[in-house]
Structure 1
C-alpha cells in the first residue's frame, strides 16, 4: 500500500461532527458535563483531590503506584486555567470525549463502515466502568483508557498513511497508553501482536519508517521508567490490591485470579453483551447465512481484544495475583462494543440492529447525567455521605483564623487537595507523595480526620524535624452540605516557621 499525503484525521472534526450526529452528541455531551458538574459540585472526591494536590508539580513520576500522564495533563491545565473543579472536570471529560472520538476515527481509518464506527463509539456508554465510574470518580483509569484509544487511532492512521509523521504519532500513542496506566501494557501488547498477525499490517510495521515508532516510544517512556526504577517504593505502594499469592497456595491463588479475570471480564461488558444479544435475536430473520470473509480491520479488532486478554491471563498466571478488579480491565476491553457492532454489521443485512445498539448506548449515556447529579449531591458511602460534600470552606476559615500556613500536611490527599481549591497558593503534602517530607515548608498546617493523633501525620511531622505535636491540637466538626445533621471531625494544628 503506498503512502498517502500527510493529513491529520481530526483536522476537520467540526465539519465531520456536523455531518455525523453520533460525533456531535459526544462533543455536546461531555461539554455539558464539564459545566453542569462544575456548577453543582461542592468539593472533590478522593481521586480528584489527589489530582488537586499535584497540580503545578510537573515531575517524571508520582506516588500511589500510578502512571503520570493524567496528572501531567491536569498540572498543565491547572497552570493555564487555574486550580478549580472546572479544570478537573475539563481534563476528565475532555479525555473521555477524545477516547470515544478516537475509537470512531480509528475504526473509520481501518476501513470499518460509518454505522459500525458510530455504534462502536456510542456502545462504550454500555460499559458501566466507563459510562458511570469514569465520570463519577476514576482518574488514572481514564488516562490509561484514553491513552490506549489514542494508540488505537495512531495505529490505524499509520496503517493508512505509513509516513514518518504517522510513525512518530504511533510511538507517542503507544507511550501515552503506558504512561496513562501501567496495566494498559496488556492492551498495547495485544495491539502490536494483532498487527503483526495480519500480513498487510505486518508489512507496514516492518517498514524502515517504523523504526521511528520504537525510538519515539522509548524516548517518551524512558524518563518515567528511570524515575520508577529509583522510586520502587512508590511503584509498589498499592501492590497489595492484587493479593499476590493470597492464601499461600501456588495453584489456588492463580486459579482464583483467572476466575476473577473471567468473571469481571464478562461483567465489564455484560450490559453491552445483553443488548447485543437482543439486537441479534430481533434480527435473526435478516442474518446472513454465508457472510463474506473477514477483512483485515475486523480481524485486527478481534485479535487485539483476544491477545490483550491473553496477556492479562499470562500476567495473572506468572504473578499469582488473586484479584483482578473490573475497573482494571478498562484499557483492555474498551473496544468490546466496537467488536460487537462489527459482528452485527457482518452477519445482519440491514443497519437497523446497529442503529438500535447505538441508540441504546446514547440513552444509557444520557441517563447517567441525572444519575451522576444525584450521586454528587446526595450519595452516601456506607453510613456517611459522600466525602466530597463536606464543608471545606468552613475548615479553611477555621484553620486560617488559627494562623497562617503555606503548607497543608495530611495522611491522604483529601483535605490538602480541597483546601487548595480555596487558596491556590497552598502547597499540599500527603503520605503517598514521593519525597513528601522534603516538600514541607513552615508555617505548616497538619490536618487529618478523627480525634487521636494520626500515625502517618506524626511520621511526616517527625521527618520534618519536629519531635512531637504541640499540646493544643484542635478539633472542628464540619458538616456535609446536603446532610447538615451529620458531620465529620477534623483535627489540626499549625507549626509556625522555624
Structure 2
C-alpha cells in the first residue's frame, strides 16, 4: 500500500482557503468574535442578561412576546458548558455563522455560481442590522434569522434531493424559523409562495412528500403553540411596540405603518444597495443583456423577497400597526444581498463586480471588530455608559453579606442575569417571566435600579405571599468599569426563609 504523503495543518488550511476563501473568512471571523468579546466583556447587556436568566430552564415558551428557539439553544449550551459570557457569545456567533453558511450552500444547491453565492453571503455584512446590531445586542432576531436561513437551506436541499428525509428536514427548518422569531412567518410565507410560483419547485411541493413536511412542522410547533394559547398575556406583553391603531384613525395609522415599512425596508438594505449601485456603475462598460433565461433558482430567490414583503404589507394593513422597525425586517430581508449578487452576475460579463461586492462586505465585517470593542467598553447611552460595564461583582459581594439567597428577584433581567454569572446556582426571577411570583424560593434577594421602592418588585413580593412592604431596604452605588466617576444606584432587601 503506498504511503500517504503527510500534509501539515497549514497546508490543509491553505487548500481550504484557496477553494473557498469566503466560507473560511466567515468561520474564522465569528470564532474570533467569540473569544475576543468574551475577553473584553465585563458583564451582559439587557438582551444577553435575559438569556442568562433563563439558562437551564427549558420550557415550551417564555415571556416578553418572544419565540423560544434562541433561549432553548442557550439553555442547552449553558447546561453543557456552564453559565458564562463565553456560552452566550458562542450561541450568538454560532447562529450568525450558521446563517451566513446556510445562505451560501442554499444558493449553490439552487444552481447559483460560486462567485454569486460568495458575494451574496459576504454581502450580508452590508446589512447594519445583522453586521452591527446582531453582534452588539440582538438575540431573538439572530435566532429568527438563523431559523429562516436553515429553512432556506432545507428548501434548496429538498428541491435537489426530493427524498422523504429532505422533506422532514424542510418541515423542521420551517418550524425553526417560526420558533426563532414569530415575525419570521412573513419570510416563511414568502418561501413557500415563491416555491409554488416556480413550476420546477411546485412539482416537488405538490407531491405526497409534502405531507411529511406538514406533519413535521406541526409536530415541532404544536407544544409551543398550545403553550402560547394558554399564556396569551406573555405573547402580547410587548404588543404596544406595534402602535396598533395609533392616533385612532383607521386609515392614517395604516398609511403610517406602510410608510415605515417602505422607509425601513430601504434603510435596512441601504448600505448593500449603495455598494451595489457603485459596482453597477463602475462596470457599466461590461453590462450586457443576458442571453439565457432566468433560472428556477434565480426566479425563486427574487420572488421570496417580493412575496415576503407583500405578506408584511398585508399584515400591516390588517393589523393597523403604525410602527415597523428596521430590526423586525431582519428575517425578511437577509437574502437581499444575494438577490443583488444575482443581478450583478446576470447583467455584467465579468465576475469583478461580484468580487468587489464580496470584498467590501468582508471589509465592513472587519471594521465592526474595533467599532464593537469601543462600543462595548466606552460607548454611552445618553449620559450613562453601557449597562454591561457596571461592577456586578461589588453588588454580589455586598448582597451576599446579607446572607445566602436562593433567588434573585427584580423587575427586569439585568441584575438577576449578571449576578448569575457570579453564582450559577442562583434562581433568577423577573417580571416578564411567566408565573414569576410562583418561581420565588426563599431566602430571596429583591433588587432593582433606583432609590425608591419599585412597584413591580413589590407586586412580586406580594405574589409570593408576603403582604407587608419591606422596611429594611438598603442601597449600593455601582461604578462603571471604564467610567469609575459615574455610578448607578441599586436598591435591595433580603427576605429570609419562611
Normalised to the residue count of structure 1, the TM-score between the two structures is 0.97
Secondary structure, aligned partner of 2:159:
helix
Q: Which residue of 2 aligns with 1:435?
A: 435
Q: Which residue of 1 aligns with 2:6?
A: none
- Structure 1 residue 467, shift from structure 2 partner: 1.0
- Give runs of aligned pairs for residues 352-371 of structure 1, distance below 5 A: 352-371=352-371
- Structure 1 residue 52, shift from structure 2 partner: 0.2
Q: Distance in 1 between matches of 2:305 and 2:375?
A: 32
Please give the root-mean-square deviation of Cα atoms over the aligned residues, in Å.
Answer: 1.1
Deviation string 1:118-159 (CA, Å, 9 cap, x unpaired) is: 000000000000000000000000000000000000000000
Q: Which residue of 2 aligns with 1:286?
A: 286
- Give runs of aligned pairs for residues 310-349 of structure 1, distance below 5 A: 310-349=310-349
Q: Which residue of 2 aligns with 1:90?
A: 90
- Structure 1 residue 273, shift from structure 2 partner: 0.2
In structure 1, stretches of 5+ residues that fail to align are: 1-12
Secondary structure, aligned partner of 1:484:
strand
Q: Which residue of 1 aligns with 2:5?
A: none
Q: Which residue of 2 aligns with 1:397?
A: 397
- Structure 1 residue 210, shift from structure 2 partner: 1.8
Distance 1:174 1:426, change over 3 A: same
Q: Distance in 2 between matches of 1:279 and 1:44?
A: 39
Q: Distance in 1 between matches of 2:367 and 2:290?
A: 38
Distance 1:257 1:479, change over 3 A: same
Q: Which residue of 1 aligns with 2:272?
A: 272
Secondary structure, aligned partner of 1:491:
strand
Q: Distance in 2 between matches of 1:278 and 1:468?
A: 67
Q: Which residue of 2 aligns with 1:144?
A: 144
Q: Which residue of 2 aligns with 1:99?
A: 99
- Give runs of aligned pairs for residues 112-191 of structure 1, distance below 5 A: 112-191=112-191
- Structure 1 residue 403, shift from structure 2 partner: 1.3
Secondary structure, aligned partner of 1:402:
coil
Q: Distance in 1 between matches of 2:14 and 2:317?
A: 46
Q: Which residue of 2 aligns with 1:376?
A: 376
- Give runs of aligned pairs for residues 342-491 of structure 1, distance below 5 A: 342-491=342-491
Q: Which residue of 2 aligns with 1:492?
A: 492
Secondary structure, aligned partner of 2:404:
coil
Q: Which residue of 2 aligns with 1:108?
A: 108
- Structure 1 residue 402, shift from structure 2 partner: 1.4
Q: How many residues align?
A: 486
Distance 1:225 1:18, change over 3 A: farther
Q: Distance in 1 between matches of 2:269 and 2:104?
A: 18
- Give runs of aligned pairs for residues 182-201 of structure 1, distance below 5 A: 182-201=182-201
Q: Distance in 1 between matches of 2:204 and 2:28?
A: 36
1:256 aligns with 2:253: no
Q: Which residue of 2 aligns with 1:80?
A: 80
Q: Distance in 1 between matches of 2:374 and 2:463?
A: 42
Deviation string 1:94-133 (CA, Å, 9 cap, x unpaired) is: 0000000000000000000000000000000000000000
Which structure 1 residue ranges, 4+ long, deviate > 4 Å from structure 2? 13-18
Q: Which residue of 2 aligns with 1:10?
A: none
CA contact (8 A) 2:290 2:346 kept: no
Q: Distance in 1 between matches of 2:74 and 2:49?
A: 12
Q: Distance in 2 between matches of 1:350 and 1:206?
A: 38
Deviation string 1:6-38 (CA, Å, 9 cap, x unpaired) is: xxxxxxx99866620000000000000000000
Deviation string 1:202-252 (CA, Å, 9 cap, x unpaired) is: 011111112100000000000000000000000000000000000000000
CA contact (8 A) 1:291 1:347 kept: no
- Structure 1 residue 50, shift from structure 2 partner: 0.2
Q: Which residue of 1 aligns with 2:10?
A: none
Q: Distance in 1 between matches of 2:358 and 2:473?
A: 57
Normalised to the residue count of structure 2, the TM-score between the two structures is 0.97
Q: Which residue of 2 aligns with 1:39?
A: 39
1:227 aligns with 2:227: yes
Q: Distance in 1 between matches of 2:156 and 2:316?
A: 29
- Structure 1 residue 292, shift from structure 2 partner: 2.1
Secondary structure, aligned partner of 1:442:
coil
CA contact (8 A) 2:47 2:139 kept: yes
Q: Distance in 1 between matches of 2:103 and 2:14?
A: 17
- Give runs of aligned pairs for residues 52-71 of structure 1, distance below 5 A: 52-71=52-71
Secondary structure, aligned partner of 2:485:
strand
Q: Which residue of 2 aligns with 1:302?
A: 302
CA contact (8 A) 1:291 1:346 kept: no
